[in-house]
Amino acid sequence: MRTCPPPPRRGRRRAGPHRGTHGFVGALLSGTINGLFLDDPQFAPLLARAEALGVPLYLHPGIPPQAVRDAYYSHLPHGLDQRLAMAGFGWHAETAVHVLRLVLSGTLDRYPRLQLIIGHMGETLPVMMARCDQVMPQAETQLPRTVSQTLRDQVYLTTSGIFTSPPLEAALATFGLDRILFSIDYPFAPNAPGKAFLDGLQMPPADLEKLAHGNADRVLKLVL
């Protein structure tokens, strides 16, 4: 599954009380659905069920709606329209907007045990968290938590496709190690740079183990 954490190593997968024999550990959602984000009331049953099952929702962007493509990503040379609209930048912006809508609409406060996973070292959110708190404080949002606190409480990040040190440092400083899962981004990025990045990290062995697989084991309830 693209941009998702790597599969568990050999061993037994715990079925758990709700997952039966199918090993269900979460769901991957690709972008908007018929132009709607998950804060739309019609998706309440999905969010409630995921919360009740204790499984995370992985938010992955899809192809931008036509109106967005026309306004933001058209009329570029060399076929760069699609590159910019998707893996070049648009995907990351869309997912960040999606998550922020779930925060600002109060959706995540209605489902406080729901957990989300987003890729690409946080889809720009680590560097925007303080800015969001500044321009959208609780006095304006009328929510019980700040934007940054809600993100830290209910969002996990994966490294998928972002294999340089500054983005990881920003993610560690804002979300913390326990909220970051190592993953690759095949087929949108080759696997070798991800392996080289992981091998080159100067981290205590216990921290590196958490990043490499321990956090995924915990979040996805895997048993090696």
Write out the H or E segment, with its range, that includes residue 170.
helix 165-174
Write out the H or E segment, with its range, that includes residue 158.
strand 155-158
CB 220 within 8 A of CB 14: no
3-class DSSP assignment, residue 122? helix
Sheet with 57-60, strands from edge to edge, namely 27-30, 57-60, 116-118, 155-158, 180-181
End-to-end C-alpha distance for the chain, whole angstroms: 19
Is position 185 annotated as part of the catalytic site?
Answer: yes
Active-site residue, from 40, 133, 153, 185: 185
For residue 163, which of 139, 135, 186, 130 has the smallest C-alpha distance? 186
Q: How is residue 214 written in tokens?
A: 């321990």
How many angstroms separate the CA atoms of 107 and 28, rounded?
18
Residues catalogued as catalytic:
185
